[in-house]
Amino acid sequence: MSELVERGAAEIARDVNAKRVSAREIADAALARADAVDERVGAYLRVLYDIARETATRVDERVARGEKLPLAGVPFAVKDNMCLNGTRTTCASRILERWTAPYTATAVQRMLDAGCVPIGKSNLDEFAMGSSCENSALGVTRNPYDLGRVPGGSSGGSAAAVAAREAAIGMGSDTGGSIREPAAFCNLVGLKPTYGRVSRYGLIAFASSLDQIGPLARSVEDAALAYDAMAGHDPMDSTSIASEVEPTATALRNDLRGLRIGIVREFPLDPLGAEMKSAYEQAYRDLEALGASLVEVCLPTAEYGLATYYLIAPAECSANLARFDGVRYGSNVDAGDVGTMYERTRAAGFGPEVKRRILIGTYALSSGYYDAYYVRAQKARTLVARDFAKAFTSCDLIASPATSCPPFALGAKSDPYSMYLMDYYTIPMSLAGVPALSVPCGWAREGGRTLPLGLQLVAPHFAEALLLGAAHAYEGATKHAGTYAPSLVAASGVES
């Protein structure tokens, strides 16, 4: 393995800008790494050899002309629900298997403008619906820390790519935990920004009021650089927020003095088991040791988060996915009349989880059920948001586990509900629209393997600088993130 692929985004950008290494060399190393390991990891649905090399060459030309690019030459993975002009963009679904995007998502374009080089389009749960990447119709992604386990989801491909050193940055999207959970499972920093901070234009919608693009990285600094590049107002997205973005990469801190960190009363550690409990207790002590004062906060409606989410998100998805009808693009199954064509196209094109959510959402919006389901869910969502607003009157940040278990074995969670529970700790923040991240916080041993765990930190709306700053202090003191690269040991025991 080339040493170049171990480098983080900050280091790469520094060196490329200083012309100590070329973007092309970095890209070639990342492509070689993908060639070497991705057959086993399955992070990418498609490796973009030509685009990567051409983009890298253009970055080198820009640097040669004297441009200073915040992410010069940084190789990144683009989740395959984000449009990149001229590339197939599939959402890991049969229905879009052969669709080529004719335009580029705003957030992806901003990464390109900042000097990033796309290495591949990464796998996901179909239409970002899932927590393990197992709902992909187009490929299996494995956790680089244990190839017998899932990388998390839905941004599992981007997470696996970054963890396996096939990219320095992964672009993910988080609707109920789809950046934070795979970040926790793959020992990465994963940030879901404030709703509205990063443009959704060109992100293929799952649940519009919850979807938010964010970075996955191997360090807080890298995540901050990527967030700074992708965030900001976009006139193409009405929900994009117009106010100035506070830079985060320059606001990183090394202690937590003066910060009050809320520990959620409704998230007790006992149910997680002794090992995880002790890891999170240690994490809380580490926060304290850095100067933070811990306070108990209440999120009394958090327990309704999951039920609320599984009405609102499917309701929105039932309409968002209606456009996949076989008329203008995507796969199509011919039939004698248009109604049958819709039915056959959608029956063949969507996987079981997508169908389940379309059905739930259609039902929840139906005449006679709308008030009982959708309207009540919206009311509950308002209460969840109020809980956070109230909690943040007595603390600056909230800390909690990111997941309720370490990465699990492929195929271990066969019923949908147990999979839905994976997002228990992350969904309330999505409903409230507040920024949250997962930062590596230690290890759990299971089946002879050492598996990563994530600490979730949550901030009030628009406080990404505070959030990443605090995570940086925690990361610096604990060094969980950088110390242990995955050895890519397969379940059978073959090492790379």
Partner 1 sequence: MSAYEAVVGIECHVELKTRTKMFCGCTNAFGAEPNTQVCPVCLALPGALPVPNRVAIAQTLRAGVAFGADIPAFSKFDRKNYFYPDMPKNYQISQYDMPLVVGGEVRYWLEDGTTGSCPLERIHLEEDTGKSTHAGSGDGRIAGSAYSLVDFNRAGVPLMECVSAPALHGAAEAVAFLASLRRTLLELGVSDVKMEEGSLRCDANVSVRLVGTSQLGTKAEIKNMNSFRSVHRAIESEIDRQIALLEKGERVIQETRGWDEIHGVTHPMRSKEEAHDYRYFPDPDLVPLEISASDVERMRAELPELPWQRFERYTGRYDLGAKQATQLIDNPSLARYFDRVVELSRNPQQSTNFVLGELSRLANDTGTPVADSSIAPEALCELIALVEGKTINSKIAKELVERMWAGEGSPRAIVEREGLAQTSDPAAVDKIVEDVLARNADVVADYRNGKTSVAGYLVGQVMKASRGKADPQLVAELVKKRLGAS
Minimum Å distance from CB 253 to partner 1? 33
Shorter beta-carbon distance to partner 1: residue 206 or 424: 206
Catalytic amino acids?
Answer: 79, 154, 178
Tokens representing 206? 């799952």
Does residue 327 bind partner 1 (CB under 8 A)?
yes
CA angle 360–366–372, rounded 5-degree value: 85
Minimum Å distance from CB 202 to partner 1? 4
Does residue 360 bind partner 1 (CB under 8 A)?
no
Answer for which of 21, 72, 96, 216 binds partner 1 (CB under 8 A) is 96
Shorter beta-carbon distance to partner 1: residue 207 or 436: 207
CA angle 135–177–170, rounded 5-degree value: 80
Beta carbons of 214 and 248 less than 8 angstroms apart: no
φ, ψ for residue 226, nearest 5 deg: -70, -40
- Measured between alpha carbons, how far is residue 279 from residues 254, 401, 441 in Å? 21, 10, 7
Minimum Å distance from CB 151 to partner 1? 23
Does residue 97 bind partner 1 (CB under 8 A)?
no
Minimum Å distance from CB 374 to partner 1? 6
Minimum Å distance from CB 427 to partner 1? 16
Does residue 432 bind partner 1 (CB under 8 A)?
no
Does residue 325 bind partner 1 (CB under 8 A)?
yes
Site pattern 11..50 for partner 1 (x: CB under 8 A): ----------------------------------------
Residues in contact with partner 1, total (CB under 8 A)? 46
Tokens representing 481? 């993130």
Site pattern 226..245 for partner 1 (x: CB under 8 A): ---------xxxxx------
Place of tokens 């979807």: 211
Tokens representing 140? 């299996």
Does residue 178 bind partner 1 (CB under 8 A)?
no
Minimum Å distance from CB 371 to partner 1? 11
Beta carbons of 45 and 122 less than 8 angstroms apart: yes
CA angle 490–493–494, rounded 5-degree value: 75
Tokens representing 465? 């600088």
Does residue 112 bind partner 1 (CB under 8 A)?
no
Stretch that binds partner 1, among 50-58, 351-359, 364-372, 406-414 (CB under 8 A): 364-372
* Residues 105-126 as b or e (16 or more Cβ within 10 Å = b): bbbbbbbbebbbbbbbbbbbbb
- What is the DSSP annotation of 414-481? -SHHHHHGGGTTTHHHHHHT--EEEEEEEEEEETTEEEEEEEEEE-STT-HHHHHHHHHHHHHHH-TT
Query: By the criterion CB under 8 A, which residues form the site for partner 1?
Result: 81-83, 89, 91, 96, 99, 101-103, 105, 200-205, 207-209, 235-239, 315-316, 318-319, 322-325, 327-329, 337-339, 342, 362, 365-367, 370, 374
